[in-house]
Amino acid sequence: MTNTTLFQPYTLGPLTLANRIVMAPLTRNRAGAGLVPSALAATYYAQRASAGLIITEATQVSAQAQGYQDTPGLYTQDQVDGWRKVTDAVHARGGRIFAQLWHVGRVSHVDLHGGIAPVAPSAIRAHTKTFVNNGFADVSEPRALEIHELPGIVEDFRRAAANAIAAGFDGVEIHGANGYLLEQFIKDGANQRTDAYGGSIENRARLLLEVTAAVVEQIGADRTGVRISPVSPAGAISSSDPQPQYDYLVEQLDALGIVYLHVVEGATGGSRDVAPFDFDGLRRRFTRTYLVNNGYDLELASARLAEGKADLFAFGRAFISNPDLVERLKTGAPLAALNPATLYGGGAEGYIDYPALTDARAQ
């Protein structure tokens, strides 16, 4: 047991975080022309800079990586310049911010790619939806990636990580969770390959590990995190062997020296019922910062911290409607409810107009 609290500073690699509360990545579908972060994004993230660490909305590493309408990228100079405005605004308020890098793989739609099929480890359609043409639609049938294409995807992540640092980010998080491309390779419900990237536990982990090694080589292990979701069915993903698969994967990620491991416990945005999966076993296998996510409130996070079960705690939707979430948790103030109608797409409403406590009291 420890007397440490969520509100005390924490050392993450070369960074000092103001507290142990992390703003989880939250897709908001508000990027502008060229998939550049909108002018409102700098305000949105700066309003939430009191988080110990902000992890941005998932940001695609290439045009091929896009799966949802109006999500930002990090592969053009205009996008880098747009993100620079965000990082400058967050740093001006004393915050720390990592970019989450993703490739959606099969969770996409032909209308986002000029009629071309999305890519996946195997040509297996996901029974899930994406946000496109201002509404939700079934994802499209993917094509299987050829083995000669995979080095290019590794390179896309490496280049996006370099762009993130050029844009002023403190580091990056590689998105290996929630049913997107890197997890599609990991889990055998989506990966039925027979080459070096399919079949065995080691082969299915290969692409994520190659991406991580490339990013570490590019920007340093102390600026690289990875997110995983071992048992979440998000994106209609499934695995017949999650425990040995993720025990191996986490050991390999630890060996690469990454600064943190971000673990979604249970179903993304849903149940925390994780039995029979042993998440504590992952914690024992990872020797640096262990960040957890899914259904955490102040009471649960404080208890898990006291037990030494995790180091950092990610809060998602609560940060949307409570830009000053840290202060509200610290003082016991009530949390504002979010408006589901303004979660995805649109402009300022439901994005930068949720008041902080001081503003709400003044009103």
pLDDT digits (tens, 9 = 90+) for 243-298: 999 999 999 999 999 999 999 998 776 667 766 899 999 999 999 999 999 989 99
> Rounded to an integer, what distance in angstroms lies between the CA atom of residue 48 and that of residue 149?
38
The backbone region for 208, taken as left when phi is positive above 0, alpha when psi lies in -120 to 50, beta otherwise, is: alpha
Task: Give the H/E segment covering residue 23.
Answer: strand 21-23
Tell me what pLDDT residue 333 has.
Answer: 95
> Rounded to an integer, what distance in angstroms lies between the CA atom of residue 125 and that of residue 116?
14
Are 87 and 169 within 8 A, CB to CB?
A: yes
This prediction's pTM: 0.96
Tell me what pLDDT residue 1 has.
Answer: 39
Tell me what pLDDT residue 267 has.
Answer: 77
> Rounded to an integer, what distance in angstroms lies between the CA atom of residue 144 and that of residue 80?
30
> Rounded to an integer, what distance in angstroms lies between the CA atom of residue 99 and that of residue 233?
24
Intervals of the chain under pLDDT 70? 1-3, 269-271, 274-275, 359-363
Angle at 350 between CA 344 and CA 353, to 5 degrees: 150
Active-site residue among 180, 248, 296, 351? 180
Active site residue 180: yes
Tell me what pLDDT residue 268 has.
Answer: 74
